[in-house]
A and B are shown apart, each in its own frame.
Chain A
Amino acid sequence: MVALYPGADDGHHDDGKPGFFQRWFYSTNHKDIGTLYLWFGMFAGLIGGFLSFMMRLELNQPGIDVFANYHTYNVFVSMHGLIMIFFMVMPALIGGFGNWFVPLMIGAPDMAFPRMNNLSFWLLPVALILLMASFFVPGVGQDNGFGGGWVMYPPLSTSGHSGPAFDLIIMGLLAAGFSSIFGAINFITTILNMRAPGMTMHKMPLFAWSMLVTAFLLLLALPVLAAALFMLFFDRNAGTGFFNPAMGGDPEMFQHLFWFFGHPEVYIMILPAFGIVSHVVSTFSRKPIFGYLGMAYAMVSIGVVGFVVWAHHMYTVGMDVDLKLYFMVATLVIAVPTGIKIFSWLATMWGGSITFAVPMMWAIAFIFLFVIGGVTGVVLSMPAIDVVLHDTYYVVAHFHYVLSMGAVFGIFCGFMYWFGKIFGVMYNKLLAQIHFWLFFIGVNLIFFPQHFLGLNGMPRRYVDYPVEFAFYNQLSTIGAFVTLAGTAAFFVMLIEAFIVRRPAEDNYWGEGATTLEWTLPSPPPYHQFNTLPKVK
């Protein structure tokens, strides 16, 4: 094992860790940048979580309890979506785990462009500051903030929000978008050029595959979002009329541009989680992943097909019926590679010798909940049914099952799996289990009843609702309290781990963990693989 990283200790002599400020603020080290991303994602997650918790308090019972100003409620709804997507899920999964483990898994000393990596990270705090500033400047008339939903549809985001709040959001999202594009370029270059000798594409760990596909999606989708945002900005500030029908524009064109980005974005958030879950399932079943090539190419095909299904978010805009049929068929096709992934995970576990360590609990829960979120996606893919479910709580339940339980469970799964590797200390298992169970029960209690609300007709983004919807909303709010307790348990676990500091072994999961990061100490040396490992 030691032979794999000769000279790892040299780092401490001729190229040691710089001082605190230089290390964390000028950082070009992929592991330090990954850590920064993880803390950043956690911080943004707290903000986004706070916003959603206030929404749940408002919706606890019919009537207005929290948001005397309805516009503020819309602001919370919009910002919850934007912050969770751009500043929690993406930084944690892509910036955090991607930066940490892509180079380690493919046997590279660092990312291809370390300085660009630094830029990628530091654009994000700038972006978040711009978004947070928008809360405090006028959006509509005297009302502060932007309340047009995370989808930002014009004309509500142009003539409907004349104040500067939305301009700040455009700037913020452009910064976040460029951050992701730089990150994507970095990942693609790293993965294509810096794999250790002998590591062919078809030997590459599935997490690296998932990051490669994700990076291509980012590279192709985000420029379209950037273009749409620039067009909004010009419509608002430069007198253009891209989306203004009075000037020959069309509000629906924005929706096409937005969802051409927005649908791949969904896969951008879930593919890295797929990669993490594959490793965890394989590790704790003590079996190699079943159908490796099928798993890799299922992700590639999900990525490709993900680009041609965007208008299933727009069935009610007045689209041609043949087009609706096409988008239904294309959307349903995605069920096939997704099914391959689910069954391959199950087949990996089949015949295994499974230990239910904390990461495995998250992975199994991920599979179960992702199936539920996936099948409601099948329901929504049908325009004939979507006509009653579009823009209701059914959609909210669906995408929270794939994101709040798919992507977020993937994040926790990876965090619990690599915690010792990243921080060099182990967490308390009991606290981690308490966190898991509170979170699992909490989020299901929040989102499962929302299916019923949607079927019964409750529209989304409503500050108040008819009394008939009261029961399941209350249940949902109780779930929010349970999830809050789960979040508290997570931070108790985190603090306990850093106070007690149980040292982590090199490979604390044992023989099931086979990827290259487990051949290194925990935490790995500041610079690893000075001599490249050879992969058989």
Chain B
Amino acid sequence: MRPSFIFKGLALSALTVAALSGASLFGLDSAVAEVGKPTEGAIYLQEGVTETADELRHLHNIVMWIITAIVVFVTALLLFIMVRFNKKANPEPSRTSHNTLLEVVWTAAPVAIVLFLIAVATKPLYNQDVIPDDVTMTVKVVGNQWNWTYVYPDHGDFDFTSTMLTKEEAAAKGVPYLLAADEALVVPAGQKIRVLVTASDVLHSFAMPSFAIKMDAVPGRINETWFKVDRVGTYYGQCSEICGREHAFMPIEIRVVPEDEFIAWVKTRNPEYAQAPASGQDAALVPAVTGGN
């Protein structure tokens, strides 16, 4: 009787592993996935377009395997115990209540797993958090109830406000409702860009899943984060800190364009930019960057 139970337990766990890995492959490599926005029915992370996001996904894959193994192990053990040690199978209970070796092992094993996790999770954290020295430009993001103001301090300090498109407007333009905005934050591809984040009224959070950035917008404080996207395209995120009535209606749209297109776009916004080289204004900006860390 006993071996058959073990077999059943093993078969069940194998099935679970197969289902989970199959499912995660589906989520990872779904052919219909669109970059920069959620995918219908997807069960895994949005595809990343920054090195930070790739590193995050890699770390998450490792952790996912470990936690899946833990859940499968505990579940299999639980099922085995339920079958092997139920009243019918085992009428007389043992009285064992100590086993020093066992207790040492199940303390040491989690310690080892924790140490391993700390080891793999530390580098991605620093890569993600520490702003590289060679950022080429800065954009400033201000969260308001319920829209975003984008400021370009390196390009003549012009600014504009980005508001969600209504359902009709989005349908007319063929862009996703609740994600698309009337004005995108436009940035050049292939550049390391510093983002300064603050808020004018209550807390908001500037989030872009496919870049792996999320930074709270806090009144009176300037937080900073960064990204570098090589792939030209339009990317969507949503406000991620409750901010009142229209919290769900202040999306973030970032358009990554080739550098020449970016310069052309800046000129339409700020004709004087052609005369004012960005490098000169960079220097003026530096002392202002104090908050965040």
Contacts and interface: CB of A to CB of B under 8 A. Distances in A.
A143 B38 contact: no
Given A349-B81, A368-B74, A468-B38, A340 B106 contact: yes
Contact of B41 (A340, A371, A385, A471): A471
A527 to B, nearest CB: 34
Nearest to A461: B242
Interface string A233-265: 000000000000110001110000000000000
Interface in A359-388: 364, 367-368, 371-372, 375-376, 378-379, 382-385, 387-388
A291 B103 contact: yes
A324 B177 CA distance: 35
Nearest to B219: A245
A498 interface: no
Contacts of A50: none
Contact of A342 (B74, B96, B205): B74
B234 interface: no
Contacts of A461: 242, 247-248
Interface in B23-50: 27, 37-46
Contacts of B245: 69-71, 74, 140, 143, 147
B90 interface: yes
Interface stretch (A114-122, A178-186, A350-358): A350-358
A246 B220 contact: yes
Contacts of A289: 97
B110 interface: yes
Contact of A385 (B38, B59, B130, B247): B59
A378 B202 contact: no
Interface string B56-72: 10011001101100110
A14 interface: no
Contact of A251 (B43, B220, B242): B220
A351 B102 CA distance: 14
Contacts of B113: 335
A441 interface: no
Contacts of B41: 468, 471-472
A477 interface: no
Given A149-B242, A463-B248, A471-B41, A364 B78 contact: yes
B248 A468 contact: no
B203 interface: yes
Contacts of B39: 456, 468
Contacts of B46: 388, 456-457
A466 B81 contact: no
Contacts of A346: 74, 77-78, 81
Interface residues of B, number: 99
A325 to B, nearest CB: 6
A425 to B, nearest CB: 25
A356 to B, nearest CB: 7
Interface string B156-200: 000000000000000000001111000000000000000001000
Nearest to B111: A336
B268 interface: no
A153 B201 CA distance: 12
A251 B178 contact: no
Contacts of B291: 318
A261 B129 CA distance: 27
Contacts of A382: 59, 63, 117, 121, 125
A318 B223 contact: yes
B128 A384 contact: yes
A504 B75 CA distance: 34
B209 to A, nearest CB: 4
B203 A155 contact: yes
B78 A457 contact: no
Interface string B198-219: 0001110101010011111011
Interface stretch (A18-26, A266-274, A326-334): A326-334
Nearest to A158: B202
A469 B248 CA distance: 14
B85 A388 contact: no
B85 A378 contact: no
Contacts of B257: none
A438 B228 CA distance: 49
Interface stretch (A128-136, A168-176, A280-288): A280-288
Contacts of A421: none
A121 B86 CA distance: 41
B114 A291 contact: no
A147 B244 contact: yes
A186 to B, nearest CB: 31
Contact of B87 (A291, A354, A372, A375): A354
A353 B97 contact: no
Which bucket holds chain A's interface residue count? 35 or more
B122 interface: yes
A251 B219 contact: yes
B78 A368 contact: yes
Contacts of A422: none
B201 A371 contact: no
B2 interface: no
A505 interface: no
A290 interface: yes
Interface string B136-148: 0000000001000
Nearest to B55: A384
A156 interface: yes
A355 B40 CA distance: 44
Contact of B201 (A69, A159, A459): A159
Nearest to A284: B87
Contacts of A321: 125-126, 129-130, 293
A325 B122 contact: yes
A156 B213 CA distance: 23
Given A156-B243, A387-B214, A464-B178, A376 B38 contact: no
B49 to A, nearest CB: 13
Nearest to A372: B71
**Most chain B Cβ neighbours within 10 Å, of A292, A294, A350:** A350
Contacts of B293: 318, 320-321
Contacts of B74: 342, 346, 367-368, 371
A452 interface: yes
Nearest to B46: A457
A289 B97 CA distance: 6
B18 interface: no
A317 interface: yes
B246 interface: yes
A6 to B, nearest CB: 31
A324 B77 contact: no
20 contacts: A148-B242, A317-B218, A318-B223, A318-B291, A321-B125, A340-B103, A340-B107, A346-B77, A385-B121, A387-B214, A388-B56, A390-B240, A391-B214, A391-B241, A457-B238, A465-B248, A466-B37, A466-B38, A468-B38, A471-B41
Given A316-B215, A317-B223, A375-B67, 17 more contacts: A74-B244, A153-B242, A155-B219, A159-B201, A160-B202, A251-B220, A287-B93, A318-B293, A328-B121, A347-B99, A371-B74, A376-B67, A388-B214, A452-B44, A455-B43, A456-B45, A472-B41
